[in-house]
Chain A
Amino acid sequence: MTFEYAPALEATSVVKIKSEYGLFINGKFVPAKGGKSFPTINPATEETLSKIAFASASDVDKAVAAARAAYSKVWSKMPAAERGKYLFRIARILQERAREFAVLETLNNGKPIRETRDIDIPLAASHFFYHAGWADKLDHAGMGSSPKPHGVVGQVIPWNFPLLMLSWKIAPALATGNTVVLKPAETTPLTALLFAEVCQQAGLPAGVVNIVTGDGSTGSAIVNHPGIDKIAFTGSTAVGKGIARAIAGTKKSATLELGGKGANIIYEDAAIDETVEGIISGIFFNQGHVCCAGSRLLVQENIQDELLEKLKRRISMIRVGNPLDKNTDLGAINSAAQLAKIRELADSGDTEGAERWSPQCDLPSKGFWYPPTIFTGVTQAHRIAQEEIFGPVLSVLTFRTPQEAIEKANNTPFGLSAGIWTDKGSRILWTAKHLKAGVIWANTFNKFDPASPFGGYKESGWGREGGRHGLAAYLKGDH
């Protein structure tokens, strides 16, 4: 007999999902105009979890008006230290209700409970704590003696880290004195709606945070609304370009956090076992639904065989399955559409002559699933080396010299993240200096901290989120 881990399911009784949710406008849940709604599902089972109000342009209108009124009458007049108190309160409530948020996020997103419990929710709370501390210190943030908020901020977030992306957006916006109209992703609205309840629980003045659910048309109504002063968007490069076009010539400013095709560079002297773990975390964390994923493995050719052997052995140990199981490492793909996109791109790897490898693994029959996959023999000319797959699919390329590693790493329209693995400090510094990527990790990957600015070069986006740089995006300096 071998050591089989018996199912260790996280209890779902901790969270009460309502049968339907309205839009959160001016501190209250209200139905959408015309009562239009759409279902939201659990991607691991395809079961419907709830019915969500679909916000039309006139609903967005109401949300923007509520945010404007809250801005001019309450939020902009409140002493900054008082604003900070609300953020501290929200942070503490997120910690107190962490288990509820973790289970709900796992149910609606498909990601493993280990990740929502240990990463998503604690990080979301830490973003509120971090920015709470800034609220009354903005005069000393290096943006002039008295920087001012923009006013009403429109925020559109993706489905890969629903609550975490919400906190990356809302925490700095509120800390700097802006009010918010936020649209969660179409497939993952539930934790944002639970967050709306947290706003009520914290006694946040009505209208400071408004959450409108819907699809791309709802997002577009926010972006194009004349009452919005600033846009913050995280999502695909295609949509990001559309936003840039839409706001050209208007007074609106924007931060765009878009796609990536991160290079994870492995030098011959890297600590091999920890490097293997870093590669795993780089591409299989969150099913690879990570804009900064290390989706291009650049390995020095002389250690390729040894590294791949260890990597394959380690990938074989990844536990794929029920996201609610505390021992699951790789959960469900978030939607049928995303699964189709992953399949299409991975299949192009086959037809373009790369060599596919996946471990033997039994995938559940219901829900959206894709096995951990690596492609070897990939070159720059393959689509899977150029396009963002946003799934658990790793492209392996080789290099011979550090110069070649840099050239290949930078040979992409993106520039969000990169990883460097070597035992030699001087090589880390040399490589980091030459990489064109917004976030570079050395001997680790996918580490996040609210104090550390995050964002990309080139088609990976505009501006930074987190840290002092992230605050700047929500303030108008007086210099």
Chain B
Amino acid sequence: MQVIDGSASSIKSFLKTLSPVDQVGAESRAAMLATRSIKTSSKSWAIDMAISMIDLTTLEGADTAGKVKAICNKAVRPDPSDPTVPHVGAICVYNDMVKIARTHLDAAGGKDIPVAAVSTAFPSGRASLEVKRVDTEDAIANGAAEIDMVIDRGAFLSGDLEKVYSEIKYIKSLCEGRAHLKVILETGELVTLDNVRKASFLAMAAGADFIKTSTGKVTPAATAPVVLVMLEAVRDWYAMTGVKIGVKPAGGIRTTKDAIKQLVLVNETAGPEWLTPELFRIGASALLNDLLMQRMKLRDGHYAGPNYVTLD
């Protein structure tokens, strides 16, 4: 469905049709959903689902080929002692690590695990469109099947929505047919839930396959009210267009409890049909080991120490 023709006025009038978000109400809904008590068989199901949704991430200046290879192994076999553990959803790395990750995943038996590259001058996005183009093209050429781009928050906050929209649309055109596009809103810099809702719709209208909360470099990141508002946005977009867009919270989700709260939000907001790695991902690094420890606890009836799960 063509809702925007790209002109500033069409973007403005489209975003004006959106309902506002009441922050107090959204926070209280998110807080209520956080009280859901997920036990026994449902906890075990949720842990495996969460593992399969993880975009296992390393985005550090100190990243090396060795580090990236290590997380690739972890992605394929999160728990070497238990082959029933599913593999993760994807590996998420910086541009220059894409090839290393792809090659190593293939070698380690992880052919079906995609590599996601953070792109468009991640995390700030402060670069020319040409630099962003090269960044994206390069990642795809090296085997990235998913591009995690950042929006221009400066343009968004200054009201230049046309720039935000056209940039997403341009990067989408580079990805078309070759890679999935995740659009990072960096909600910690957009601050208000009204902005989160607007940016979500802007990204979806411009062609995002996923909308993602954060880079992980800014706090707050994937707070429950933000994820709630984004899940409402994809649900409404589906009602409007018949197209299902994915959601990826990233940043600050470290424990099994956090991850299960995310799945509850999905289940009771966008609905159970979003509970698949095709439509929901969790950007995380430390989370995976906590999920594995909780999984062992459910299986064995007692907690194992951190040395019973592999570091990476």
Contact = CB atoms under 8 A, between A and B. Distances in A.
A4 interface: yes
A116 to B, nearest CB: 13
Interface residues of B, number: 28
B301 to A, nearest CB: 17
Contact of A444 (B25, B40, B41): B25
Interface string B42-75: 1101100100000000000000000000000000
Interface stretch (A99-107, A233-241, A265-273): A265-273
Given A1-B45, A277-B25, A6 B35 contact: no
Nearest to B272: A2
A5 B25 contact: no
Contact of B25 (A3, A6, A271, A327): A271
B170 to A, nearest CB: 31
B26 A6 contact: no
Contact of A326 (B35, B45, B49, B263): B35
A301 interface: no
Given A423-B20, A443-B25, A5 B38 contact: yes
Which of B42, B46, B264 gathers the greatest number of chain A CB atoms within 10 Å? B42
Given A271-B20, A273-B232, A444-B24, A3 B263 contact: yes
A443 B24 contact: yes
A47 interface: no
B220 to A, nearest CB: 20
A111 interface: no
Nearest to A326: B37
B37 A3 contact: no
Contact of A273 (B19, B36, B45): B19
Contacts of B108: none
Contacts of B272: 2-3
Interface string A248-276: 00000000000000000000011111110
A326 B26 CA distance: 21
A121 to B, nearest CB: 15
Interface in B69-86: none
A30 interface: no
Interface string B253-277: 0000000000110011000100100
A114 interface: yes
A278 B32 CA distance: 13
Nearest to A278: B25
Interface residues of A, number: 25
Interface in A101-129: 114, 118
Contact of A6 (B20, B39, B232, B267): B39
Instruction: Find the residue from A2, A274, A275, A277 having the highest chain B CB count within 10 A.
Output: A274
Nearest to A10: B37
B238 to A, nearest CB: 12
A327 B29 contact: no
B275 A8 contact: no
Interface in B268-306: 268, 272, 275
A361 interface: no
B22 A271 contact: yes
A340 interface: no
Interface string A1-30: 111111110000000000000000000000
Interface in A273-289: 273-275, 277-278
B119 to A, nearest CB: 31
B46 A327 contact: no
A169 B22 CA distance: 34
A159 B25 CA distance: 29
Contacts of B232: 273
Interface string A399-420: 0000000000000000000000
- Majority DSSP secondary structure for residues of B touching A: helix
B22 A443 contact: yes
A272 B40 contact: no
B36 A327 contact: yes
B7 interface: no
Contacts of B275: 2-3
A277 B19 contact: no
A443 B45 CA distance: 37
Contacts of A443: 22, 24-25
A467 to B, nearest CB: 21
A287 to B, nearest CB: 17
A141 interface: no
B21 interface: yes
Contacts of B267: 3
B42 A3 contact: yes
A246 interface: no
A296 B9 CA distance: 39
Contacts of A270: 19
Interface string A458-478: 000000000000000000000
A271 B29 CA distance: 13
Contact of B42 (A5, A272, A277): A5
B105 to A, nearest CB: 27
B40 A6 contact: yes
Contacts of A327: 36-37
Nearest to B42: A6
Nearest to A314: B268
A30 B28 CA distance: 45
A64 B19 CA distance: 58
A124 to B, nearest CB: 19
B26 A273 contact: yes
Nearest to B41: A6
Contacts of A2: 272, 275
A269 B36 CA distance: 31
Given A114-B35, A327-B36, A327-B37, A6 B43 contact: yes
Given A274-B29, A423-B22, 6 more contacts: A3-B42, A5-B37, A6-B38, A272-B19, A423-B20, A443-B24
Interface of B: 19-22, 24-26, 28-29, 35-43, 45-46, 49, 232, 263-264, 267-268, 272, 275
- When A and B form their complex, which 5 residue pairs have the shortest distance between CB atoms, in order from nearest? A274-B25, A8-B37, A271-B22, A274-B22, A326-B37
18 contacts: A3-B42, A3-B45, A3-B49, A3-B263, A3-B264, A5-B38, A5-B42, A6-B43, A270-B19, A271-B19, A271-B20, A271-B25, A274-B22, A274-B25, A274-B29, A327-B37, A443-B25, A444-B24
